[in-house]
Amino acid sequence: MVDTSVHTVLFLCTHNSARSVMAESILNRIGQGRFKAYSAGSHPSGRINPYVRDLLTRLNYDLSDARSKDWSEFAQPGAPALDFIITVCDQAAGEVCPIWPGQPMTAHWGFPDPSSASGTDAEKAAFTADVYRMIERRLSIFTSLPLATLDRMALKRRMDTMGRDGEA
């Protein structure tokens, strides 16, 4: 069984500028008291996508600590112990990850990349908002899982199914 303490989740993406930042922000809000989320990238861009920053600011997320960072920060001594590592882009899913302390559960949940949106500013903002809704929906399902009653294998199956189908 998975214990009922605060679960730590690391969201990974290549540039840590859009999807992983949104996932971190959303989970820290909707999972408050049950989850602590972080995000990082294999090749961080050093900045948050401006459409993501604008959207999260409009939705009253606190971005004062938000930054694009390298995933190696979470493999160092003294880094938070991780319960879950979720890749949110296809490139990061295929990369060789650092060795994570402990045995965090891993899953891949691919989402479209807001940084690849084309068109007018309004179209890019709308695309970013659509991706936000997809991530929020998936994380709402994740936070509703009965973690205390699922064994590790059952939880892994549920997380993998969510990555394939978007449903638990």
Q: For residue 111, what is the domain's CATH number?
A: 3.40.50.2300
Q: Are 23 and 139 in contact (CB under 8 A)?
A: yes
Give CA–CA dist 34/44, Å, rounded.
Answer: 27
Q: Is residue 164 part of a domain?
A: no
Q: Is the pLDDT of residue 149 over 70?
A: yes
What mean pLDDT comes out for the span 21-41?
96
Q: Is residue 124 part of a domain?
A: yes
Structure tokens that stand for 53 in this block: 């920053």
Whether 125 maps to a domain, the answer reads yes
Residue with tokens 């999972």: 31
Residue 1: pLDDT above 80? no
Which residues in 90-126 are b (16+ Cβ under 10 Å) and which e? Answer: ebbbeeebeebeeebbbbbbebebbbebeeeeeebbe
What range defines the domain where residue 116 resides? 7-155
- Per the CB < 8 A criterion, the answer to whether 11 and 20 are in contact is yes
User: Is residue 55 in a domain?
Assistant: yes
Record the pTM: 0.91
- What is the spatial distance between Cα 26 and Cα 133, in angstroms, rounded to a whole number? 10
Q: Is residue 163 included in any domain, yes or no? A: no
94 in a structural domain = yes
In a domain? residue 42: yes
* Residue 37: both structure tokens together: 């989320």
Q: Region 116-135: what's the mean pLDDT? A: 96
79, part of any domain: yes
Least confident segment among 89-93, 131-135, 139-143 = 89-93
Integer angstrom CA distances of residue 149 from 37, 94, 131, 132, 141: 21, 31, 30, 29, 16
What was the pLDDT predicted at 2?
A: 46
The size of the chain, in residues, is 168
Retrieve residue 42's tokens. Answer: 């294999």
